[in-house]
Chains A and B, each alone.
Chain A
Amino acid sequence: MDITRLTIHELTELLREGATTSIEITESVFKKIEAVEERVNAYITLTKDEAFKMAEKADKDIREGKAGALSGIPVAVKDNMCMKGVKTTCGSHILENFIPPYDATVVRKLKEAGAVITGKTNLDEFAMGSSTETSYFGVTRNPWDLERVPGGSSGGSAAAVASDECIAALGSDTGGSIRQPAAHCGVVGMKPTYGRISRYGLVAFASSLDQIGPITKDVEDCAIMMNGIAGYDANESTSVPEKVSDYRAFVSRDIEGWTVGIPKEYFIEGIDPEVLSSVNNAIKTMEALGAECREISLPHTEYCVAIYYIIAPSEASSNLARYDGVRYGFRQKGEEDLLDMYKTTRSSGFGAEVKRRIMIGTYALSSGYYDAYYKKASQVRMLLRNDFDEAFRTCDIILTPTTPTPAFTIGEKMDDPLQMYLSDIFTLSTNLAGVPGIVVPCGYTEGGLPIAVQFMASHFEEGKLIQAASAFEKNAGFARRRPEL
């Protein structure tokens, strides 16, 4: 048996029974990494030594009956979350050698729950991208088709889970960066409600949109990961002191009598026919489960891309100002004066996409443009949020496609940023509205590429998402397929 193929809940059971040890699991995972990583390139940094220490400790805790929710489980962390003493690069040349002196809250929580951290996964530079191609450390390949992108920006985490290079992973999602790669890699990904999981220690891209979430092999694992990392954090002002449910309790509950909203604005022309037919099948599955699926309208949907590409770059232009070569990270040597140091360091330290967004954001915040861009976008964002509030008055959840197409080929959209931006068209809205979203496999193309359906729920209704996604997963019959590598 290849134990790397198992889920958190299956491995936890084996560990509890004493049928395996965390050391054994960790060894298997690192063997898998050795076997496939050269082809996939999911990781930027492996933390093998730390992992085995954690595994040893987990085994001891399990023996002594002190096991945590994730004890002994190999988990990978996207390389934009700080881990004390381990390089945190954000996929950027400018942070190539940055070693944080502190743990992000989620990393601390993983450690406290007994997880074994296997390493830091690849991402689009500063999480800006939808393909993991903008990473300074090379592209991550889709385990289902090595010529294709895994999606992004959490492409490393999604690919690592899909190729069993870890059991579960953390991603971050600013406009779809967990859900889009999870969809392209045939795994489960959730972007929780804004404020549900601490952002402390997550290197900021767009602070009002960023949210950390799990990428897992099935919905139950997603619930287990959520139990481990969700909750209020006094280190973050935007963290919400809302009670955390036991998400696992929502697994295997039925959805009989639920109302599922199908927003007509998400079924636009240009959706790949195989994606469309899989999503239509997903609607039928929901109906077969006893839910009533009804067409709804989210009238401000058409503005999502425009709002997003003003707000996200604006915040990014400010968030990335600290990478100036003064205190840490890369500095271009040979500067003539201060201004020259800033210019050369930032010009050569950031990649093209990051620079593009810094420039867009700087422009949008400039005096004379602020009202027309940032302020206006923030106002429309409120309208969009109202759309969701309105919809959730009558719907339990909303169902949409996750992406307009399956995974595209490497290089296909690199020269066309607008096409690239459109690959997040169905995922941006939840970030703008702050509501949670989950994606689950709902089919495969004829060529064998995964397709996912997205469920959205009202603020802090992650439990409902787990409930809907797990009911769907059990009945749709696409769970647990793995690529052959």
Chain B
Amino acid sequence: MDYEPVIGLEVHAQLLTDTKIFCGCSTKFGEEPNSNTCPICIGLPGVLPVLNRKVVEYAMRMAMATHCRINERNTFARKNYFYPDLPKGYQISQYDHPLAEMGYVDVEINGGKKRIGITRIHMEEDAGKLIHDEEQPLSYVDLNRAGVPLIEIVSEPDMRSPEEGAAYLRRLHEILVYLEICDGNMEEGSFRCDANVSLRPKGREKFGTRAELKNMNSFRNVQRALEYEIVRQRGVLEKGGVVVQETRLWDDYQGITHSMRGKEEAHDYRYFPDPDLVDLSISKAWIEEIATTIPELPMEKRKRFVGEYGIPPYDAGVLTTSRALADFYEKVAELCGNPKIASNWVMGDFLAYLNENKLEVSESPVKPEALADMINLIDNGTISGKIAKEVFEAMWKSGKHPQDIIEKKGLKQMADAGELEKVVDDVLTANPKQIKQYKAGKEQLFGYFVGQTMKATEGKANPQIVNDILKKKLSE
């Protein structure tokens, strides 16, 4: 039988607010354990939560960027369960009246477009972390993360392949980072994904029994886990078995998912409205105010780059992977007036140097103005494209302006025909044998003469002029 996978994803994204969702503690990652804590986030007796307004605003941005309807009435609910990383014995989350519902994002898949529905987006607090010392054996609790704001983005079961799942995830990730509300770091856990997967016979409407997959901390792992799980479930079904509704953990090392023992029984979280928090009402005016903070999103930007700058969709894709890179590119393109060349340089040498040095766009020693000037110097023939690579390297290392580098290193292009003629003459005099062969019909030797001339000028010769002179001389 032919089976069709049905996939829905739940994404937890940590919001980039300076302070936690219900207290004033810092959200900074990687601090001394339990240093970013106070009576409120460690759940001492008697403390009360007060909602951080920024959290709501950040969450609203995501809701708007994903075309969700923002609910006017928001309530917070307690999700009750016991675990040592959960100081109050309940997580403050949203249940009945979440922030936003009924949105979507469009993803590109195999050159086509697919719309993935978003069921809901809600706000909640993160839990702490357990650190196990197997040797002692002891477990430690670090509550720095307890109370860090999260949004949970729940998709509709709209995806039909691991590729679609990964594409959706990348899309969400890209939007969150563009909105500057999440750093998107999957390894540090600021962007986490759980997946629900089931199979059904192709053509049937009713969903099969699903398994929930957890513990996938990269896009690649999400895709691999989905692929594995689909094969596993197909195997079960083809043998006439039934898929069990359960939570399964992805084991990156072994490349398999396995059942989380002892957690099969459905949790009863006993949700009820948190009596310590009043209903939050979100006005139209507030929504309008937040709407003005939403930047152009990657998909739209890509479309605009292709239309406005005439660059290929692939290039537009690369240049819009981050807002900072896109901004950098646009500035270079505008300043130099040559978006195509600008695109080549930003995608080429600029990105290569960034990656090699593991720097962010903002940390680059080469600023857009300098790169644009350099491109202008190529355009007006001051330097050749080849020399430009050397100039760029020097700009990167010294942070200096291209003009200064060219002057100091004497890299200015030789464009004086008389001067170049002398060099060409020297080259020809030194290679009588090759001239003979060339004249005998071995025309590919033309490049050899060009190369020798470039070598003699340390690459500074204007290639067009050298070509012209050589053509003239060799046909004499």
Contacts and interface: CB of A to CB of B under 8 A. Distances in A.
Interface of A: 80-82, 88, 90, 95, 98, 100-102, 104, 199-204, 206-208, 234-238, 314-315, 317-318, 320-322, 324, 326-328, 338, 342, 362, 365-367, 370, 374
Nearest to B39: A102
A80 B45 CA distance: 9
Interface stretch (B87-95, B224-232, B442-450, B451-459): B87-95
B48 interface: yes
B141 interface: yes
Given A200-B48, A235-B50, A101 B39 contact: yes
22 contacts: A80-B46, A90-B45, A101-B39, A199-B48, A200-B46, A203-B46, A235-B50, A236-B48, A237-B48, A237-B276, A237-B278, A238-B277, A317-B80, A318-B270, A326-B84, A326-B141, A327-B42, A327-B87, A365-B271, A366-B270, A370-B270, A374-B272
B45 A98 contact: yes
Contacts of A374: 272
A318 B89 CA distance: 7
A100 B47 CA distance: 11
A314 B272 contact: yes
Nearest to A338: B84
Main secondary structure of the interface of A (DSSP, over half): loop
Contacts of A82: 44-46
Nearest to B83: A338
B36 to A, nearest CB: 16
B44 A100 contact: yes
User: Main SS of the interface on chain B?
Assistant: loop
Contacts of B44: 82, 100-102, 328
Interface in B261-282: 268, 270-272, 275-278
Nearest to A201: B46
B270 A207 contact: no
Contact of A366 (B141, B268, B277): B268
A319 to B, nearest CB: 9
B234 interface: no
Nearest to B273: A378
A300 B45 CA distance: 34
Contacts of A204: 45-46, 276
Tell me which of A101, A322, A370 has the highest count of chain B C-beta atoms within 10 A of its own C-beta. A322
B82 interface: yes
A95 B45 contact: yes
Interface of B: 39, 42-51, 78, 80, 82, 84, 87-90, 141, 268, 270-272, 275-278
A321 B49 contact: no
* Residue of B47, B84, B270 with highest tally of chain A CB at under 10 A: B270
A230 B141 CA distance: 38
Given A236-B276, A237-B49, A366-B268, 10 more contacts: A100-B45, A200-B48, A204-B46, A204-B276, A206-B275, A237-B50, A238-B48, A318-B89, A327-B141, A338-B84
Contacts of B39: 100-102
Contacts of B88: 321-322
Q: Which has the most chain A C-beta neighbours within 10 Å: B42, B47, B141?
A: B47
Given A100-B45, A327-B141, A365-B80, A322 B50 contact: no
Contact of B45 (A203, A237, A318): A203
Contacts of B278: 237-238
User: Which residue of B90, B272, B276, B277 has the most chain A CB atoms within 10 A of its CB atom?
Assistant: B272
A40 to B, nearest CB: 26
B84 A318 contact: no
Contacts of B141: 326-327
B278 to A, nearest CB: 5
A134 to B, nearest CB: 18
B275 A315 contact: yes
A88 B82 contact: no
B74 to A, nearest CB: 13
A238 B50 contact: no
Contacts of A366: 268, 270
A321 B89 contact: yes
Contacts of B48: 199-200, 235-238
A375 to B, nearest CB: 9
